[in-house]
Amino acid sequence: MSSAVGLSSNITSGEMPSGSATVHVKTHPVVLTTRTQYAIPTEKYMIPATWRRFHLSQLINKVLGLPQPVPFDFIVNGEMLRVSLGDWCLARGIEEEETLEIEYIESVLPPERVSSMPHPDWVSSISCEQKGYLLTGSYDSTVRLYNDGQQLLHTIGGHSGPVSSVCLIPPASTTMSDGNECLVASASYDATARIVSVPLSIPNPDDMDPPYPKPLASLCLHTSAVSSISANASGRNLLTGGWDTFVGVWSTDIPEADEVDEVAYPTFDADRKKRRKVSKKDLNGPTAAEKAMLDLAITSNGKMIATANGDRTISLFQLG
């Protein structure tokens, strides 16, 4: 049989009516529960209606006698308590004598900004998929790779328009298993996507042949800006989505020879002849959506593609 624990409210003499020694304080019977390590006895507490999250958090800390304060948040009927207990009950028509069951969880403090890495133009995309590294794409047509010490390792050019999206391709073969390099894919407003092999170390100028980013392929399918790029979990396939309403599903196997006639794309940068090109190297051919695609993703099992479109919809495509 649970007992009721009375709690006095912090009422100053200025809050008491004239000529009164005491004042009635509205309270609500409350049972506090938790799934954290900070469980308190399951008893009925008479909580002043004026109490908010801060006061309830103080109560938990006081009952447990914690050496260091631990902030808590409180959930009532599936809702976070953001107002006083009395205001919450009043808004929902809950009577003063009705017992409330309130669950408390550890508060998550807001993130703290610790640093900034300036770019010369808008940063359009970012990826943290490679542990210890940070990949960015910018409107200055450049992809950059940083380590977790915020040190710029490589600046990767090659696009002739703003970079719209970047991703890291998971290792799909033994050539990537040594952990010394990663495959970076980028999409651009120049209507192309690129695959580049990027060393995970800083080039040493004293080396006779220092490792630098190595372009592997240009993906030539879209007739307008490529807005998004994503790899599947195995790293064997790459997806591109563009303003031309097409989805490209590509193999990441790099061919030994170009598969596109160079003169078909005269607007690309001059060093494009040095790179192998892949055209429509996909699983089932391009899939058309209704409107321009702004973003896309593939499910973990690799069987479904979801696209975010400019007509306020998402589209789902089943891969064969």
Q: Percent of the chain at pLDDT above 90?
A: 52
Q: Quick one: pLDDT at residue 186?
A: 97
Residue pair 193/185 in contact (Cβ under 8 Å)? The answer is yes
Q: How crowded is residue 58: how many other Cβ atoms within 10 Å of its Cβ?
A: 14
Q: Quick one: pLDDT at residue 175?
A: 43
β-pairing verdict for 27-33 and 100-106: parallel
Q: Quick one: pLDDT at residue 212?
A: 84
Q: CA-based angle 300:304:309, to the nearest 5?
A: 115
- 98 burial via Cβ count (<10 Å: 0-12, 13-18, 19+): exposed
Q: Which long-range contacts (C-beta less than 8 Å, at least 24 apart) are formed by 36-44?
A: 36/104, 36/105, 36/106, 38/64, 38/66, 38/70, 38/72, 38/104, 38/106, 40/64, 42/2, 43/2, 43/3, 43/4, 43/5, 44/2, 44/3, 44/4, 44/5, 44/99
Q: Quick one: pLDDT at residue 17?
A: 39
Residue pair 179/216 in contact (Cβ under 8 Å)? The answer is no
Residue type at position 313: T
pLDDT in tens, 92-119: 999 988 999 999 999 987 888 888 899 9
Mean pLDDT of 122-140: 93
Assess whether pLDDT exceeds 90 at residue 287: no
Is the pTM here over 0.85, yes or no? no
Mean pLDDT of 58-67: 94
Q: Percent of the chain at pLDDT above 70?
A: 79
Q: Residue 164 corresponds to which tokens in the numbers above? A: 């719209």
- 51 burial via Cβ count (<10 Å: 0-12, 13-18, 19+): buried
Q: Is the dihedral of CA 89, 94, 98, 99 positive or negative?
A: negative
Q: Residue 77 corresponds to which tokens in the numbers above? A: 């009927």
Assess whether pLDDT exceeds 50 at residue 267: no
- The mean-pLDDT minimum among 131-140, 169-178, 194-203, 288-297 falls in 169-178
Q: Which helix (H) or strand (E) holds 63?
A: helix 53-64
Assess whether pLDDT exceeds 90 at residue 47: yes
Residue type at position 139: Y
How far is the C-alpha of 22 from the C-alpha of 7, rounded, in Å?
15
Q: Maximum CA pair distance of the chain?
A: 97
- The mean-pLDDT minimum among 172-176, 216-220, 246-250 falls in 172-176
Q: Quick one: pLDDT at residue 253?
A: 85
Mean pLDDT of 197-216: 81
Of 300, 221, 165, 296, the C-alpha closest to 317 is 296
pLDDT in tens, 241-265: 999 998 999 988 887 766 654 433 3
Mean pLDDT of 171-197: 79
Q: Quick one: pLDDT at residue 209?
A: 73
Average pLDDT of the residues of the chain: 81
Residue 72 is classified by DSSP as: E
